[in-house]
Structure 1
Amino acid sequence: MPKRRIRKVNSGHYSPAPTAAVTSTAISVTPPRVSPWRVDLALLLLTVGGFAAIGADSWMSWEGFSTMPIDWWIAAILTAIVAVSQIGSGIIQALGGDPFKGIGGSTSADDWWGITLKGLYVLDIFSNFAGFGGTQYLSINALWADPLGTIGLLLWNATLAVLLAFGDEILFRLRDRIAIGAQKNQQLAKIRAIQVEAHNKVLDHYRKLAVEQAEAAGQNLSVAFDWLDGGDNV
């Protein structure tokens, strides 16, 4: 009986590259620029932060109005008017409009409307300033005793008051920009996830077929024992 050697099992026919099933599901979609979970997390944090800023602004306005010589119900009404008007004004600005114009119905009414809305912004900032305790530094005696320190505290409280007044608009504006701008990113992420899953399915079936063919090919091989004769080939 002639001697037969073990043949090479993998002759190159098991590479996934030339198969139509694999190449048809190749991952070719442009990957998203940002991970979807980061977008969702940013939207959640900005939404929660925006509502928290509205609550903080309303609370600080209430604290400021409470220090003024007015009844509590007047302070509550002023706080509600300031908070709700700023929410509406922020939406108009986000839509590309001007909340100070085109709402009064006429030129003269627009002028009064603009003055009123600007006054509400000023009232909100001043109530926040008073809520932070900035009014205690509006004193000639304090300014005379420590000019630099008093001016620094006035500027600090004024900065906090302005940031709190516009903080909710800033956060919601960022939230809206991300939500709209990330739509394509989210779609690319979904398409890519689908293609990755499909590609993995193809590779799983390809692995199963390759192993089955390898087992079938191995059963038809003859084993040579020429190494028992002391030859060089093993």
Structure 2
Amino acid sequence: MANIVQKEYNSEATSYDTYYTEESPMARFDLEIFISALGLVPGAVILDLGGGSGIKARLALDAGAAAVDVVDISEGMMREGEATEKKLNRDAIRWFEADISKPLDHLPLHPQYDIVMANWPLDHASNMAMLESMFQNISDYLKAGGRFLGIRTCDPRAPAMTTGELGVVYKDFEEIPGGLKYRYTFGSSIPIEAASMEATYSGSTEIYEKYGLVDVQIEPYENAQTVRDNPEVWEAFLKQPGVAMVKALKA
């Protein structure tokens, strides 16, 4: 799956960030729920696994982070992020091309980080070995007492995720060992291949705890302003949520 995802995100790189400026309900929710879960992080050094073009990394800098290291499989996405940072005349983000479902010890990363983020890449693990490797990287690079943040799918087949009313469409579902394979589109994007393991989308905290993450919580959906402002739009989603913003601590 890694090569497919790399190719698909490279093809979307130049237009990906525009999705977050089109006032799509899900795009707005994605940003607002992340900002709520992150809070203020003055001086924090952050590792952003699967950070793409650095959308969440830039929000972390706005929240006071001192530096963010982005690791992503898509050179195209990171190239767009570098261009954005150059326009802002900043050099607080470092960019590393790598597959986060494999060991990262070949990269010049910091030994430990205050915060490790993994927003959406857990939904590109097509088997348990890939998922466990992602969690191993999260655990290895997160300091004791540090925070993990990651938005992920929690019910790919929830009605709110398949109708397109929130600006995203999940479709073409296929059962795979231990999980579910599917494709999704957002805005005008091409369908992107994804897969979620039951170990995460079921809501179980077992895999988090296996890798030393404790106090696993889901950020309340109502903490996103768009949910409070548009209850009728989010009614079906709140009855059967399709995504969750997970936060945890390293023991």
TM-score range, shorter chain: under 0.3
**TM-score by structure 2 length?**
0.21
Higher relative contact order (CA 8 A, sep 6+): 1
Structure with higher helix content: 1
Structure with higher strand content: 2
